[in-house]
Chains A and B, each alone.
Chain A
């Protein structure tokens, strides 16, 4: 399988050979390294690397594993942090996933990751193994994984290749997530031609645990055993990490066909139960899951994190394919494998548990009191490196940054040039058209393929604004999670776009009654070798870090995915932001649509004429230009605190945040949620905010939410808004007897008519 015939023919390349044959030609370029990186390796080792060492460095120093182009910017997330923000943080960035204290001695760990490139090549397995990978990260923190979410971005809906990717990805997530028994509690699906050759598949997982269950990925006690367990090692994904994620696609299609990773969710389910039993039995001193870069990563990271070293017998690895060379074994990305550090005296107990679950394992070696990683193949030494240089001290780039040449023209091209609807008929037509576009349409065709019931703790899931799961059955303590991103906003203004994504996720958590507490992110960008993309990245990370500081919630971990481009065309910068919130009792949760008759509908927040980058502009007029909506984070905080306070007092029956599509879409969604009509009047709003009806319906101004309040709570609620200085305007009343949404001066829309367009879009495209 290994491409370079020279290496295969000469047999195992040992450290002895490396010294004896210093001038051998090595395929550092084919493995994705740059010349200066290769020279640096020689410098570190004082000789040329063996082919195994070369393989290790090439995968560990790849963009995907080393974050070499993003490190200098990601530091901000750890630096722009106050002590108050760190109050609930038990584990911050740098570990497999962040861990947040939620009270009652309980903690939650969560993270979002990308699996973009594999999902274009092999959508089913790419998406499936994406879920598998993030779940293992959560498991390795000592938590029981309790839910998943996914953020999907596909190309133009009518393009036949989009269907290929959509089917594969949704089937893959469904297959893997459902077999693991994890409820899928939300996410997002976006269609835009910019993602045609580069679909984005981001997967998030959350896990729950008691404080004392926390596990870390370090090997710190000399003498402890290093044990690889789970699935056998095969040829999956060889070269995937260094070759695939650090390369862009040719515009003719998916030409690269290295061995794709193949997932087995049954093996992972068994692994989850086995690991949890191992953790609770206290037999494990450190644990690392094997993801990108497989054994290379697990061994070097465990050693480096623990500040010690390791001695490994690579021939002890249980193989699925006996023909694998040592280099291939080191690079293999076979799924469903974990690496445990086990004190010798716990070995028997360890063996008993893995045998009970019929999980295979092999002792690879042990921790040593030396800052060195030795790997032997039988009697031959094939790796002898300082672990830190592999795992943590990889190259750090400060890549050139340049304002995109198109930026000024793009920002000058405001949507104000677009013709607006001139009468009620046109407005109504646009609203009906917009709700049926793929981006606004009902996503049930996708979400019905996911299990939302398993584990019995799902309090909210799609289509509500956040997913919410109960953590404690005794007290009802739970967490809410929302993930958001808007590539159009970020393309217009990456700094603001990142702030807006955070604001939206923050708001989506607040509308459920939960209090936002922590952040994760998945930064999807084009090639870092393109200075314009690098500028976008620099701006977006600064925007996100500054916004987190302002909102007072820290980034606990995340992921960067570069090279999302076909030829020269990069995707929109798409920073996906996830916000986790805590709710003391999930019974208090607020749904996104109204269920009751005769409740007043209130619009919180002010509306401005902000149609640049909106769904109205892009999906109805194919226009993208100008500046994204402004966001005032102080207002978002006030709004969130109001919602929380009102929720504690039980004043709010439903709350739905206004985002893509504007108020018009939000109202229709809230009505469709439980099929309850409403009468809406926007006259006062037009006057108070000095806007026209198009802006009223379609503007994407921030810090706005529609809530419904029972008649008996009206006075209290309005007083609360006034006291907190949150603009509050009654814009309607719910009507359960009506099968209509009547919007004065726009139209009387039948719910059935709205629904029929809304539910049929995706099945017609993909069913």
Chain B
């Protein structure tokens, strides 16, 4: 089974500051990170892989040979669309245990909105053999949550968003959960591994739990499918020394528009139906009163004002 995980390098928005004079974003010195939801997606893919290989530290180095063959092991490919420096998040993914990493970049892709981005990524997927495409629900720099579903639509495959749990539903109807804790699977692991690995051949389904406002729903879906991960799905692992060494010989592939069958009119700025007309730092001010008295006096004044305004 092949799992492709989409990851994005984003500025850590917790650290983003606004220049008070110009009202623009200060990008210098803001650390770049792997988008958090994407990391959950990657972690889940790696757990599905661990379940089939039998060890948690499954970084055997290099791409897994014969991946995708019926009954074969799970292979995890990470894809990122972005500038050259986005290689850093792909290296991190390899150090976490991914088998293959592809950086998709081209001047033709610059300025893409979500539709053009999803068209480009869909073209990447068409060049890969996939059973599950995993993405984060949304990236913290844009918060749109659109690229995943849009990509699924272009590829004509079903989607499940807000995923908080994934289980392989075995060919015999049995459900094999994979261990939330990672390595210690106990008795459940063998069946799980077989179900995951054979899901392509047998056409087995996935049982996916997706969050809703009111709780969650469990859905059944066949592969290929696109899933988007939320924080509740798992706790991502750290890179470890063994994996760092094991992945050292794996290079990040770089793909450009030339590697893809894309219509240039459909990607980048040209292919983007939406344009940013203006952007500005948020002006959030009210003409309020400031109270610096002792707590009791301040409280008294607040209560008085609330009563004056008939709030209480």
Does B associate with A? no
Q: Name A residues whose Cβ lies closer than 8 Å to a Cβ of B.
A: none
Q: Name B residues whose Cβ lies closer than 8 Å to a Cβ of A.
A: none
